[in-house]
Amino acid sequence: MKFSAPVLLVGNGPVDSAAFKLAQPHYEAVLAADGGAKAALDHGLTPQAMIGDMDSAPADFAGETLRMPEQDTTDFEKCLSIIKAPLILGVGFLGGRLDHELAALNALVKTPNNIVFIGEEDLVFRLPDTTHLSLPLGTRLSIFPMGPVSGLQSSGLAWPLNALSFAPNANISTSNHTSATQITITNPSQPALCILPRIHLAATLKLFIS
């Protein structure tokens, strides 16, 4: 499935109406990962397609159904294997069952797709090779390693990342914050997540779409 503009992908986890409202100006089409179709329908959205193994799909879904029964990947990964878009906005992937959330975050650092998850409080995206963000002073910004990470460079953060090494079982960088309004982080293609308050969605999307 190929799209020329960003798409909204709805997962089967918790999602509030404010997340849908925040995403609304920024996507062209709505898609659902299996049972995420119910959440979309409950919020007045009709997905163009529902993708997954259909173990939690709503029986009354009337749109296109793309069933992928293999069990070696999650429904989110199944979606990523067939969706081609400049950006995927994901709701319903943060919160709820911890194993589902961790699986989604793991997939986030493995895929080449541009993806931004919108949760009840935060945005999460894979840290690009180069990140330029315009944010208010004091904005919370966390970098969480999903594997060994070193060689990061940063400017505009209260606690610089320069020359530090990170790993899930070692140093992490949560609850950092901005000390300038222009933030730059360079990351030599390593598995790290950037976490921001979700009110900064518009600024974040400038990383991925012009």
Residues 84 and 62 in one domain: yes
Residues 36 and 137 in one domain: no
What is the value of pTM for the model shown? 0.94
Query: What are the pLDDT digits (tens) for 140-188?
Result: 999 999 999 999 999 999 999 998 999 999 999 999 999 999 999 999 9
Instruction: Give the Cα separation of 105 and 177 in Å (integer).
Output: 22
Looking at 120, 151, 176, the residue that finishes a domain is 120
Residues 50 and 153 in one domain: no
- pLDDT of residue 74 exceeding 80, the answer is yes
Query: What are the pLDDT digits (tens) for 32-53?
Result: 999 899 999 999 999 999 999 8
And the tokens for 173? 């960088």
Instruction: Give the Cα separation of 153 and 36 in Å (integer).
Output: 38
Query: Per the domain annotation, does 61 fall within a domain?
Result: yes
Query: In total, how many domains does the chain have?
Result: 2
Residue 25 structural domain: 7-120
**Average pLDDT over all residues of the chain:** 94
HSE-CB for 77 with a 13 A CA cutoff: 17
CATH number at residue 33: 3.40.50.10240
Residues 107 and 139 in one domain: no
Show Cβ contacts of residue 169 under 8 Å, excluding neighbours closer than 6 positions: none
- pLDDT of residue 210 exceeding 80, the answer is no
Confidence of residue 62 (pLDDT cuts 50, 70, 90): confident
Span 198-202, average pLDDT: 97
